Structure 1
């Protein structure tokens, strides 16, 4: 087959653009098309449970509503993320925001009470509100439970959130579990530690594996959407190890494979560990997930809808 050249026309729909990328079929264009096609197939398969893992500043980077809607619409069955993304979801739920166009003089930013994540900014005043509000919620939770799993803690926090755009609230209402194995490495984790200095609340980090392994063994097929790498990526893949690995997976990452890090590892490498099945459908797209995932998701939803 030959490489066809991409045609762009006025008023193109997203799926038309995706299909044009598929007509080229090579490099990033081809990978984006194949990832879109695979995601549509995953969404359409009633036997497939979809795990979404989210690493990096996806909530500060504008992806909050996308993740929340995936939960509300029943597209994903499990969310695995960092404590930081949970923190930033809560920060907005408590009335805070993420900001842009504040400059790159970091010493000046510090003096102004601003923290920087690339070109995303946070305000220390918003974190002060976060600290007060999460402490109130933890006080309520600790009155009922002294020992809890990380997933159960996040689930209970969700019951106290009023913001309809919140990821955590949506997960609570739809009973979609959120796993955050690295929760201590975040501002939420710091607040949890500070809370336990004067209150009786203990997190059982191993307890989540009981529920997660049950989900894995009860699923006929498992598909993974991996945005970024790190602990969330490994947790999503390793959870299916005892069952022979995932059946399908899409990875969007900026990390490289040469250093041997898991974050940049090609998905095919997971087959050697039985974290992906032999013959599984795997697509890696190299690039910024805040650009690529909205494009791929929009195309996949159109593909799935047109395939009805």
Structure 2
């Protein structure tokens, strides 16, 4: 069958036209954040230890995280890459922070700003039905100003409010370079000052919990997120005048100082990319500064990437040992999607109360004391 230039293809003509759904109809079912406190997975994970493949790897990773937390000298660094908060993992990370199971966070900007801060402002992510998650209706979504993250939706108009809020925070700061950690702490202060706390009936957030527990958050590629739009708008308005900027070298130096201050460290890495490499590199950076810092004593990575394409996200932890970054005694790769593996690993350590003897290291205070004494 031949078709003229203006004719529709058969697959478009075979089906009756549907009325375009409304934005309200599409943004109806909210993503619900899983609560590891409500699910004791210890018996399940212990049983998985006697299985094979990814089950056994996941169980070993859970036992290493448990061990990492019971080693109270160890500083735990959580690395976040991929769309994790939009997928329903926000509460897991909040619970880790509030129970002293994390001492520092290294993340992509999207997780911290576009997703966590976004929800802290009162906005939500939504479930996308199967007909939308494969990209067949993205033109419709664009008309409605709905952004898609695989099988979740986010309201673009609300996201622009998030952009505007980061610009407002930027404009309120002294005009100088900041580490991303300093800027994110200012975001935490903004949430407190504007009543965005659990006590006020709002959902908790990673930024808020970290602010209150003195857990520093680093986003080494900070401008690659909603905050970047706020910073761009600020710098455009301040052309030729002093302005706020993000100093990525200061990020690296601050995290390296924490490694020097607390030589025993462990990594819990969700995904790979920049956060993974940034956290691993602080061992080498300390050596460059003349400090003989030991490799990360513990390391876990949850990823769906592998090493065949030579990319960083799939490089193994044993490979990192060749660079002098990660010890190979207590390390485990878990080849799994994060929403499956993380609740098991984190829930296992939580319900075994591995954190019972830990106190918060309050690394934010360590860094701010160093600034005062400089």
TM-score (norm 1): 0.90
- Larger CA deviation: 238-247 vs 84-93: 238-247
**Residue in 1 that maps onto 2:290:** none
Offset at residue 80 of structure 1 (A): 0.3
Question: Which of 187, 195, 207 in structure 1 is aligned with 2:226?
Answer: 187
Offset at residue 303 of structure 1 (A): 3.0
1:51-90 equivalent positions in 2, closer than 5 A: 51-87=77-113, 88-90=115-117
Offset at residue 307 of structure 1 (A): 9.3
Offset at residue 112 of structure 1 (A): 1.2
2:255 is equivalent to residue 216 of structure 1: no
What secondary structure sits across from 1:197 in the alignment? helix
Structure 1 CA distance for aligned equivalents of residues 333 and 72 of structure 2 = 23
Offset at residue 295 of structure 1 (A): 1.1
**Residue in 2 that maps onto 1:95:** 122
Offset at residue 302 of structure 1 (A): 2.4
**Residue in 2 that maps onto 1:170:** 209
1:123-142 equivalent positions in 2, closer than 5 A: 123-141=155-173
CA contact (8 A) 1:94 1:133 kept: no
Question: Which of 328, 331, 334 in structure 2 is aligned with 1:285?
Answer: 334
1:100-115 equivalent positions in 2, closer than 5 A: 100-102=127-129, 103-104=131-132, 105-115=137-147
**Residue in 2 that maps onto 1:3:** none
TM-score (norm 2): 0.75
Question: Which of 273, 279, 282 in structure 2 is aligned with 1:230?
Answer: 273
CA contact (8 A) 1:44 1:304 kept: no
2:92 is equivalent to residue 49 of structure 1: no
CA contact (8 A) 1:97 1:126 kept: no
What secondary structure sits across from 2:237 in the alignment? coil
Q: Deviations over 1:282-306 (max 9, x none)?
A: 1011111111101111112223459
Structure 1 CA distance for aligned equivalents of residues 254 and 70 of structure 2 = 25
Q: Which runs of 5+ in 2 are unaligned?
A: 1-38, 199-203, 288-292, 358-374
2:350 is equivalent to residue 301 of structure 1: yes
- RMSD of the alignment, in Å? 1.8
Q: Deviations over 1:213-252 (max 9, x none)?
A: 1110121411000000000111111112332421110110
Report the structure number with the largest CA radius of gyration.
2
Structure 2 CA distance for aligned equivalents of residues 95 and 304 of structure 1 = 31
- Larger CA deviation: 30-39 vs 210-219: 210-219
Offset at residue 96 of structure 1 (A): 1.2
